[in-house]
Amino acid sequence: MLIGGSGLRGQGTWERIPMPTVQFLKSVCFSDSLYGWVAGDSGIIFRTIDGGASWVRQETHATNDVEEVFFLNRRLGWASTYNFTTLPYGTLLLKTTDGGENWTPAPFPEPNLFITCILYLDSLNGWMGGEPHALLKTTDGGATWNATPVDTSTLAFFPVLCIKFYNERYGYAGGGRFDIAGVTWRTWNGGAMWYAINPLSAPADEVHGLHLFDSLHVMGAGGDPDLGYGVGMIRTADGGLTWNYEELDIPGNAYDLDFRNAREAWAPLGPRQKMIYSLDSGATWAVIQAPDSLRIYDVTFPDSLHGWAVGKDGAVLKYHPPVIPGTGDEKYCRETLVLHRATPNPATGHVTFSFSVAAPGTPVRVRLSINSLVGTRLAVVTEGVFAPGRHEAEFDVSLLPSGVYLCRMETPDGGAFRMATAPLRLVVIR
């Protein structure tokens, strides 16, 4: 099921993909377009190495919920799960150096501290946040952790829910507690000291999913999860010295925030079964229903062409970017050419591509090609003059390496071919 824009609407679409679980998936992380992990209830972590075409459950030896999973690359990953089974209660940290084939558990030494977010800048230097309060740093890949200093303002010691760094010096964190205060923290000295938001600027509810445009311009998502003031966005333009909170007049709460590119942003509304998006860097927002009315809580974009979101009932959504118009006669292209699904997809050998030539009712010269994700043409599937109607072309992809490719359908304009339709994604598995 696809939800979102169609045709030339600016935002993309979300499609629910099959998953071998119906449990609550709380966290999603992709190291690139192919390798990704989702995690949640009862210690479950699933991995894909083919862009979501297939998923394999990994053994974590954990029975409590995985709250956060983070991968620096295809090999190095960390996760946090809570221990409510035996005293002392606290956090069980998981680490892998082989993509999750093996997870090594280690109890966090401080009891009654529950890690909610993990961020690594490289293989040695990382950060964690948690509740009732924690801003923790490691410089040895997680072997040891040290609490970092924070100022003594009244909001400084609230739960930390997300951490982002622009570079080694400038970092931000968000958190708080519902119906009490939303909090942001900032550092400009690599975490040597963190400073909390001025209480006069603080919203009433938690701040989630920070996005850093640069070291000075930052925004975060939040809102009232009940029937109160609704979704809100908090922003700073001066490096966190002052913040402005804006209510969007949209019921619910934004549980995460991520940008596909410099202008397109998405935030899930959890139990509201909706998602909101912006096409102007967060200046204005619109609402869509989540596919199958799912409750989505976490969203990520590893690059501008790929996006993922997860939530309750084993929900995993895959993002499809919007139509990318060509530089020629766009109206002619849209009305003339339609590129349908490729079968099978994912593919291991021969693939059948289907496309249609429609208006203006005369034969059209068409080229169908397979391209890399950065636009390099790797092979031509078919090229020729096609009459109005539906056509098929077969191609053997067995010589292509495993990966995700873009299939483009083009028509000439003034002697040069112009892209006429949105790229079709083809997954090749060997």
Each residue's pLDDT expressed in tens, for the chain with a length of 430 residues: 344 433 334 578 899 999 999 999 999 999 988 999 999 999 999 999 999 999 999 999 899 999 999 999 999 999 999 988 888 899 999 999 999 999 999 999 999 999 999 999 999 999 999 999 999 999 999 999 999 999 999 899 999 999 999 988 999 999 999 889 999 999 999 999 999 999 999 999 999 999 999 999 999 999 987 656 799 999 999 999 999 999 998 999 999 999 998 889 999 999 999 999 999 999 999 999 999 999 999 999 998 888 999 999 999 999 988 754 433 333 334 446 777 778 888 888 889 988 888 655 578 888 888 887 666 788 899 988 888 888 889 999 888 888 778 888 887 754 556 555 556 777 787 6
**Which domains, from first to last, does the chain contain?**
2-320 (2.130.10.10), 330-428 (2.60.40.1930)
Tally Cβ neighbours within 10 Å of residue 382.
17
- CB neighbours of 96 closer than 8 A, spacing ≥ 6? 75, 76, 77, 78, 102, 103, 104
pLDDT of residue 425: 73
pLDDT of residue 422: 54
pLDDT of residue 402: 80
pLDDT of residue 146: 96
Please state, in angstroms and rounded to a whole number, the distance separating the CA atoms of residues 78 and 59. Answer: 14
